[in-house]
Structure 1
Amino acid sequence: MSAGDVQLLTETFSTSLRERLADSGAAPRHGEVVLYWLGQAGFVIESGGFRMLIDPYLSDSLAQKYKGTKFPHTRMMAAPVLPDELDRLDVVLCTHRHTDHMDPGTLQPLGRQFQNLRFVVPAAVVDEAIKRCGVDSERLVPVNAGERIEVLPGCFVSPIASAHESLDRDAEGRYPWLGYAIEASGLRMYHSGDCVPYAGLDEAVSAFEPHVALLPVNGRDAERSGNGVPGNFTLDEAVALAKNSGARALIAHHYGLFDFNTIPADVIDQRIELEASGRLTLLRAQTGLAWRLKRASQPGAIV
């Protein structure tokens, strides 16, 4: 199926995310994927009877850790759902070891609540993942770039190397920063994790032919990098990657949580207006919205 043969529908809901996720009427139908934003780089992905989380940060562990410092990590938005409010969960994907992507305050409660829950993590940081997830190694699925694994029946994950801000490898050649190309119900999504452009990234992503790209847009600068806060794509770079990879839609995220590491929402909205007549559908991640990805009634349509 080519990237033009899908629809992406935006749905607004007024209930809590907990109530929305428990509503069987809002669940994906056959051949659909439904996405929700959790803030920062976190998403819920539902399809074919399974529920997946990517990079959920649903606690205040960073605010507790950095209280009184130059970057106190005070939340600008509340977590839309708490770990104990989820009624079911099958797998969690963590792109790398940083706390806003691999959060002990989120992952350990989830691991205790759902005894069969598995965690997909970079093989390069598996020792750290055991500590942060609080589970035995048997519940981890260590992965590296270039692999393709079936994490759930009919759901495949293909890790792609990311550069945060450098393209690193460990002594065994494994990448500590990953993105995940996800295929479910014949629909394809790419979540880059934290990443900046590097030679070969466009080609690696375009080979997967994603329908939707989930990319950070908070950018980077010398002050943040010099204070241990490596950055991400700028908005321009994220748009360019989405276009170069052939994605039909981009959901821009990784903004609005910490005041020192964000981009104004209206800057994204202005770019959305500029892209409105183009081939790429640019969307801004927001709570209270769901995105339903499904096969289009007419080839080439995406709305």
Structure 2
Amino acid sequence: MSFEAVAFEGRLAERLKRPPERRPGRVSLFWLGQAGFVVEAAGRRLLIDPYLSDSLARKYAGTATPHERMAPVPVQPDKLGPVDVVLLTHRHTDHMDPDTLRPLAERLPDLRFVVPAAEIEEASRRTGVGAERLIPMDAGERRAVLPGIAVRAVRAAHETLEADREGRFRFLGYAVETAGATVFHSGDTVPFEGQAAEVRVLNADLALLPVNGRSEALASAGIAGNMTMAEAVELCRAAGIPAMLAHHYGMFAFNTAAPEAIDRIAAAAAPLRAGRARFGTEYRLGPVDEA
């Protein structure tokens, strides 16, 4: 399986005017900032946790944790072109943002949303859609969401494994499975007992992992943390994942990781192909003979 990063010129909106490719096993990804990604596979386009507004900057203006963006929005919701499914890992606004999701849902009446079953009411409120457009999932479940594309859900701990009264997990990770390639997005998570074994069975070719870390200071402010870059590398090694992209950095100044620190650990991670997600780059995953 090949994994390459190809820089492109111009705006992401221009790149997304091109329809997704239909080659078996070929997956293309684009970073949207924070935990957000565009995933193209089997001729379809999916989004994961898109945060494409300034809703948090408005909410936290004048507080001790201002959520001003460190980088501008890379593409407006109305410039994403056709989107078939949106995957939402949990209810935090930088992952389930009504100012991003409602415009998408209104523009694309056939768009559906994969959401944690434990948060289905909140997901309906934030997306503005009814139950018929929501695909509720819990850890351990697998659903075919589009022709040629299935999604498998696993647990995530942000920073704890939280469940509702019915035992359904509030934080999820998703494996997007296509013919010949699997991409694993962990959602927001820290390491937890049994995680590597749970992830290993996904047979992922690429992991998308959050690396902004955690601290007592943030915890005291009510802000849950994530893995460090070193922990993300260790998960890939333990779960047998050959490539990873680090994300969840460079959005909010009070809760990020230094790019040079990410790069330093990535460089020492070989043979794991590790790097940090960057704007203006298309990440391609596919059979070796298509590299």
Query: What TM-score do the two structures reach when normalised by structure 1?
Result: 0.94
**In structure 2, which of residues 265, 275, 285 is the aligned counterpart of residue 293 of structure 1?**
285
Q: Aligned residues, how many?
A: 291
* One-letter amino acid of the structure 1 residue matched with residue 275 of structure 2: L
Counterpart residue number, 1:280: 272
Any idea what SS the aligned residue of 1:127 has? helix
Does the Cα contact within 8 Å between 1:217 and 1:255 map onto a contact in 2?
yes
Counterpart residue number, 1:123: 117
Counterpart residue number, 2:66: 72
1:217 aligns with 2:211: yes
Unpaired runs of at least 5, structure 1: 1-5
After superposition, what is the alpha-carbon deviation per residue over 1:136-166, rounded to whole angstroms, capped at 9, x for unaligned? 1111101000110001111010100100101
* One-letter amino acid of the structure 2 residue matched with residue 10 of structure 1: A
Any idea what SS the aligned residue of 1:75 has? coil
Any idea what SS the aligned residue of 1:22 has? coil
Counterpart residue number, 2:258: 264
Counterpart residue number, 1:3: none
Any idea what SS the aligned residue of 1:297 has? helix
Q: How does 1:95-110 map to 2 (within 5 A)?
A: 95-110=89-104
Does the Cα contact within 8 Å between 1:21 and 1:27 map onto a contact in 2?
no
Does the Cα contact within 8 Å between 2:34 and 2:249 map onto a contact in 1?
yes
Q: Name whichever of 264-273 and 213-222 sits farther off.
A: 264-273
* One-letter amino acid of the structure 2 residue matched with residue 287 of structure 1: F
Does the Cα contact within 8 Å between 1:220 and 1:232 map onto a contact in 2?
yes
**In structure 2, which of residues 134, 139, 147 is the aligned counterpart of residue 140 of structure 1?**
134
Query: In structure 1, how many angstroms separate the alpha carbons of the residues matched to 2:260 and 2:228?
Result: 15
* One-letter amino acid of the structure 1 residue matched with residue 108 of structure 2: F
**In structure 2, which of residues 198, 201, 216 is the aligned counterpart of residue 204 of structure 1?**
198
- Structure 1 stretches of 4+ moved >2 Å: 26-31
Any idea what SS the aligned residue of 2:213 has? coil
Counterpart residue number, 1:22: 17
After superposition, what is the alpha-carbon deviation per residue over 1:15-35, rounded to whole angstroms, capped at 9, x for unaligned? 1101011135x8464431000
What is the CA distance between 1:76 and its match in structure 2? Answer: 0.2
Query: In structure 1, how many angstroms separate the alpha carbons of the residues matched to 2:109 and 2:234?
Result: 41
* One-letter amino acid of the structure 1 residue matched with residue 17 of structure 2: A
The root-mean-square deviation of aligned C-alpha atoms, in Å, is 1.3
* One-letter amino acid of the structure 2 residue matched with residue 60 of structure 1: D
After superposition, what is the alpha-carbon deviation per residue over 1:83-123, rounded to whole angstroms, capped at 9, x for unaligned? 01122100000000000000001000000000000000000
**In structure 2, which of residues 146, 150, 153 is the aligned counterpart of residue 152 of structure 1?**
146
Query: In structure 1, how many angstroms separate the alpha carbons of the residues matched to 2:4 and 2:80?
Result: 24
Unpaired runs of at least 5, structure 2: none
Counterpart residue number, 1:186: 180
Any idea what SS the aligned residue of 2:96 has? coil
1:83 aligns with 2:56: no
Counterpart residue number, 1:31: 25
Query: In structure 1, how many angstroms separate the alpha carbons of the residues matched to 2:286 and 2:254?
Result: 36
Counterpart residue number, 2:222: 228
What is the CA distance between 1:169 and its match in structure 2? Answer: 1.1
Does the Cα contact within 8 Å between 2:211 and 2:227 map onto a contact in 1?
yes
Percentage of pairs with the same residue: 50
1:46 aligns with 2:45: no
Query: In structure 2, how many angstroms separate the alpha carbons of the residues matched to 1:212 and 1:175?
Result: 23
Query: What TM-score do the two structures reach when normalised by structure 2?
Result: 0.97
After superposition, what is the alpha-carbon deviation per residue over 1:154-198, rounded to whole angstroms, capped at 9, x for unaligned? 101010010010111111010000000110132011101100011
1:195 aligns with 2:193: no
Does the Cα contact within 8 Å between 2:86 and 2:112 map onto a contact in 1?
yes
